[in-house]
Each structure stands twice: as C-alpha cells, then as structure tokens.
A and B are shown apart, each in its own frame.
Chain A
Amino acid sequence: MSMIRQDAKAPGHLAVLHPMRLHASALPLAERMFNLWTFTALILALAAFLIAPAFAQDATPDDRSIVAILLEWTPTLAGGFAFNVLISILSMAIGTVLGVILGVLQVSPISPIRSIAWLITQFFRNSPWLVLLFYCILLIPFQIEIGDTTIPFPGWIKATIGLSLPVMAYMSEYMRGAILSIPTGQWESAESLGFSRRQIMVNVILPQTVKRVLPSWMNLYAVLTMATPLVSIIGISDVMTLTRAALSAEGRVDLLIPMYLYILCWFFIYCYPISAATRRFERRFAVNT
C-alpha cells in the first residue's frame, strides 16, 4: 500500500491507484448549495407546478381545491406517519440491542460462536427487507399462550420484528468493525491491569465504539424510516395504507401525484436533518481520528 502511494507521487503515476476521495473543500460547498431550504424550495416549486393544473380544471364536479383536500386529510395521514415513526423507533431499538450483542459475538475468542454470529449477520444483511417482513408475518403466530396468559402478536409488532432483523445485521457489522478498529494497546493495558476479557469489552472497548458507530447508526435509522412504508403491503395502517385509502375515498385522479408528493415531503423533512447531522458528525470525527 505504501509503495503504491510513493509511486503515485512520481511523474506519470496512475490515477486509478489512488483511493477514491472527495475533495475536502468540495463537501462544504455542496452543503451550502443544497441545504434544507434550497431543497424545500425546490420541492415546493415542483409541487406548485404539479398542483397548478388542478386549479385550472374547473370541470371537476368536486370544487374543493387540492390544497384543501390535503389539509382535510392531514390529521389522518399524520396519525399514519406517527405509526411509521413508532415502528421505526421500535425496530431500531430492538435491532440495535441485538446487533451490539451479535457484533460482540462476532469477535468472540471461541471460534464456533464467532462463526454462528457471522453466519446470522451475513444471512440477514443479504436478505431483502420485504421478504424478511413476509417471513415474520407468516412465521410468528398471531398470539402465544403461556399457561393461562395469552400474549397477542398484532401485525404491526410482527412487522417491527421483521424490520429489526436487517437493522440487527447491519449493526452487528458496524460493531465488529468498530471493535476491531480499537488499537490492541487498549486490550493489552487493560489486561495488564487485571481486567477480564468481558470487563475489557464492557468498560474499555464498547464505550469507545460509540463515537465510531454513531454516524453509521444514524444513517441506518434514516434508511430504516424510509423503508417503513413496506409494512403497508402487509396491511398495516401506516401512512402509505392511509394515503391509498384517502385517494380511493376521494376518487380524484388529479389528487394522486400531489398527495404522494405531500407524503414524500414528510419523509424528507423527517429524514433530511438526520442525514445532515450524520454528515456533520462524520466530518467532525474524521478530524479527530
């Protein structure tokens, strides 16, 4: 690797041997050009462009404007969107806890444990989310009876579990990478102080992985949130299901595009700050490490 770097400095070097990298100065500029306000303005302009013909069409029997209809449906849709957010937070919580455990098992000194953890991680990391979702719906019974108590498993809980599986797998990989990136000197100095392996992991290594995993973790959450409309396919009353219901109730063709755009804007407004914050974290920590 170092040889390649040195060769690259010589005249007539091969540019392809350089690691691909954005210019450090390019990112802040792009950031300034494509900030939240520019994006919002662009989307509003697009929305106005799409909605405008609707105002011109005075032939429709329903004389309510599209904006009025959207506002009318907003409380219902907001309830659905809140459900998406709830599912995303719960899946993230379950997936994170399981993923941290699985990631720690991936670096276990006991080889069979390491292999099993690796296999589980790879299996769920390379499965389509929708298929996992279907599997959970089919495999988990709608209720479990333990003695006299019956624990119900409504669809949305099954869906939450289904979405938490890929989160777990990605988290497991992030954790493995972060643990392995901690210098071995940390292990050795803790070992020489008498810490057991488990104590080193809990007190020394895991706290140091937080900073390293945080940007990927936030990014994963944004991706997960954007994937939550998948649950509408299995009949859960999320924002997508309710949007379709609203559209069929209104029965207006000109409403299709504005309403879906409206929902897209919600996701954008919820997810964009997360990914923007992620980039800020990444840049800040890149300097430190």
Chain B
Amino acid sequence: MTWTPDQPIVSLKDVHKSFGTVEVLRGVSIDVMKGEVICIIGPSGSGKSTLIRCINALNDIQKGSITVEGLEVNDAKLDKLALRKKVGMVFQQYNLFPHKTALQNVMMAPIKVLRQNRAEVEQRARGLIAKVRLEGKEAAYPGELSGGQQQRVAIARSLAMNPDVMLFDEVTAALDPETVKEVLTTIKDLAAEGMTCILVTHEMGFAREIADCVYFTDRGVIVESGPPATFFDKAQDPRTQQFLSQIL
C-alpha cells in the first residue's frame, strides 16, 4: 500500500497493548494528518507514554494496527530502520549521549546510521543547533547544559534524521519551570513549519495554544477528543470534566 498525503500520516486502529496481565491500551484509534499537531493528555498511568512509544516500535502491540506513511508497525518483519527514519522521538529524560558534545550528539546518527558525508552533516547540525537557539554550545557536553538546553539538543538530534513525524513524550515534565518555556518555543517553531507532531503533555495552556486536536485518555481508552477550543471549554464526558477541573 502506497501512502499519499491525503491519507493519515499516522494511523492507529484498535490498538491493544498489555504488559503481562495488565492491559495498558484497550482499543485506541487515532488518525493524524500530515502537518497536524495533536496533544494527548490524561492522568498518569492512563497509557499515554505507552501509546506514543508504540508508534515507533519501542513497545510492540498485541492487537490492532499502527501505520506510519503506510508502513505497518505491527509486523514481525518490520524494517525498523525505515520506520525510524520517518519518526523522530524526544524523551522526558533527554537521554543525550553523555560522552559526546552537543554537536556530536546531533551528528552521530546521520553519520553512523545514514552514512552521510561528515562535512555536510556538520553544516546541517550547526544549523539545527542554531535553530534550537543554542549557538555557542556546540562544544558543551550534556552534563554542562541545563535541562532545557539538553532537551533542545535532543530535539535537534532527532531533527538531524529529517523525520516526517516527531513524537514528544512529556518532554517538559523533568524541567525547571523557567526552562519549560524555551523548549515549548522550540516545539512551537517546529509546528509552525508544518512538522507533524504528536505530544504527550501536562502543559494544558500549551496544548490549547498549539494543538489541532486534543485527545484525553483514561485507563487505556480515548475518552474524548476534539479541537482545543471545544475540548477545554465544552468537555462532554464526566471523566474529562473531572480531570480538567483538577488540573486547570
């Protein structure tokens, strides 16, 4: 099946995932169109992170289908490299390589995985570091950077692979409040450029501002979804209302 831009770039259909006997996802379906920004919110343990990790095959699923640009993820013969070239991911704990400088972190995957020319990669990597507003920090090691700076290097590192979709897994949850904004600004810039973004987040104000669609998950299912204006102001489901009243 070939994918065309009028079809969803990421499509989840009736996704089920269990860890042992614990059912974490119980039939989740989401369609994301190219250039869309969607935010997944919900209480802890509702399966948000698992959901996003399934999209780039860090977790496998037991039932259902996930496709990225027509590539079926739930397939034993999946070409993981092909998938990961399409999908970039940023983690809560940044997970930069501590033995490499910021620039080397960004350059490593294109050189080692895509076997691209070092000089070209370096030029692009410097551009990406400038894009996440970290000029002058190219030679710094992750341990010398603040959480927010590390997270922006992590975003640049993912972008270096030229992904079509970016996954953000609670990327501001481990940050100091004053550095949250710089990371959110970076994501906002990306979204404005038309990058397809799937975010798991606790930043409601940010979700309202940036998302095309907000999904509320609870106990492994999507309870409610909609454009932020409707979702935040006119939530229908009592569980959504209760969650929003606690958090807003």
Contacts from A to B (Cβ < 8 Å): 183, 185-186, 188-196, 199, 203-204, 207-208
Contact B81 A188 (CB under 8 A): no
A185 with B93: CB separation less than 8 A: yes
- List residues of chain A with CB within 8 A of the CB of B93: 183, 185
What residues of B have a CB within 8 angstroms of the CB of A189 in the complex? 89, 91, 95-97, 154
The answer to whether A192 and B112 touch (CB under 8 A), given A186-B97, A207-B99, A208-B98, is: no
Give B89's nearest chain A residue, CB to CB. Answer: A192
Report yes or no: B91 in contact with A193, Cβ–Cβ below 8 A.
Answer: no
Q: Which residue of the partner chain, among B56, B97, B98, B99, contacts A192 with CB atoms under 8 Å? A: B56
Contact B95 A185 (CB under 8 A): yes
Residue with the highest number of chain B CB atoms closer than 10 Å, among A183, A185, A192, A195: A192
Interchain CA distance A189-B96 in the complex, whole Å:
8
CA distance A183 to B58 in the complex (A): 15
- A selection of 13 A-B contacts at a CB cut-off of 8 Å is A188-B58, A188-B95, A190-B97, A192-B87, A192-B158, A193-B157, A194-B81, A194-B84, A199-B112, A199-B113, A207-B99, A208-B97, A208-B99
Check A204/B85 contact, CB under 8 A, given A185-B91, A194-B109. no
Beyond A189-B89, A190-B97, A207-B99, 17 additional contacts (C-beta under 8 Å) are A183-B93, A185-B91, A185-B93, A188-B58, A189-B91, A189-B96, A192-B56, A192-B58, A192-B84, A193-B161, A194-B84, A194-B113, A199-B113, A203-B108, A204-B97, A208-B97, A208-B98
The distance in angstroms between the C-alpha atoms of A196 and B161, with both chains bound, is 15
B88 within 8 A of A: yes
Please, how many angstroms separate the alpha-carbon atoms of A281 and B57 in the complex? 39
Query: Within the assembled complex, what's the spacing in Å between the Cα atoms of A191 and B109?
Result: 10
Contact status B113-A193, CB under 8 Å: yes
Asked if residues A188 and B113 are in contact (CB atoms below 8 Å), the reply is no
Contacts of B87 in A (CB 8 A): 192
Q: Which residue of chain A has its CB nearest to the CB of B99?
A: A207
Shortest Cβ distance from A187 into B: residue: B95
Q: Which 6 residue pairs of A and B lie closest in terms of their CB atoms, listed nearest first?
A: A189-B95, A185-B95, A193-B109, A194-B84, A192-B89, A194-B113
Known A-B contacts A186-B97, A203-B108; the reply to A194 vs B85 at CB < 8 A is yes
CA–CA, A185 to B171, complex, Å?
13
Please report the C-alpha to C-alpha distance between residue A192 and residue B161 in the assembled complex, in whole angstroms: 10
Q: Which residue of A lies closest to B143 (CB)?
A: A288
In the assembled complex, which residues on chain A have CB atoms less than 8 Å from the CB atom of B161?
Answer: 193-194
The residue on B at minimum CB distance from A288 is B143
Contacts of A190 in B (CB 8 A): 97
Within 8 Å CB of B88, what residues of A?
Answer: 192
Residue from the list B58, B85, B95, B108 in contact with A186, Cβ < 8 A: B95
List, in ascending order, chain B residues with CB within 8 A of A194's CB. Answer: 80-81, 84-85, 109, 113-114, 161
Give B87's nearest chain A residue, CB to CB: A192
Residue of A nearest to B58 (CB): A188
| Min CB gap B90→A, angstroms | 9
A190–B99 Cα distance when bound, in Å, is 13
Contacts of B109 in A (CB 8 A): 193-195
CB nearest to B109 among chain A residues: A193
A126 to chain B, nearest CB (A): 33
In angstroms, Cα B171 to Cα A109, docked, is 30
Residue on B with the closest CB to A192?
B89
- Chain A residue with Cβ nearest B167: A192
- Given A189-B95, A204-B97, A207-B99, are A195 and B112 neighbors across the interface (CB < 8 Å)? yes
CA distance A183 to B154 in the complex (A): 16
> Smallest distance from the beta carbon of A181 to chain B beta carbons, Å?
13
B contact residues around A188 at 8 Å (CB):
58, 91, 95
Measured between alpha carbons, how far is A208 from B81 in the docked complex, in Å?
24
Give chain A nearest CB distance to B86 CB in angstroms. Answer: 10
Nearest chain B CB to A208 CB, angstrom units: 6
User: Closest CB of chain A to B23's CB: distance in Å?
Assistant: 22
Taken together as a complex, chains A and B put the C-alpha atoms of A203 and B109 apart, in Å, by 10
A204 to chain B: closest CB distance in Å? 6
Against A, the Cβ 8 Å flags (1 = close, 0 = not) of B131-175 are 000000000000000000000001001100100000000000000
A193 to B154, CA, bound (A): 11
Q: Which residues of A contact B97 (CB under 8 A)?
A: 186, 189-190, 204, 208
Q: Which chain B residues lie closer than 8 Å to A192 at the CB level?
A: 56, 58, 84, 87-89, 158
Would you call A203 and B112 a contact (CB within 8 A)? Answer: yes
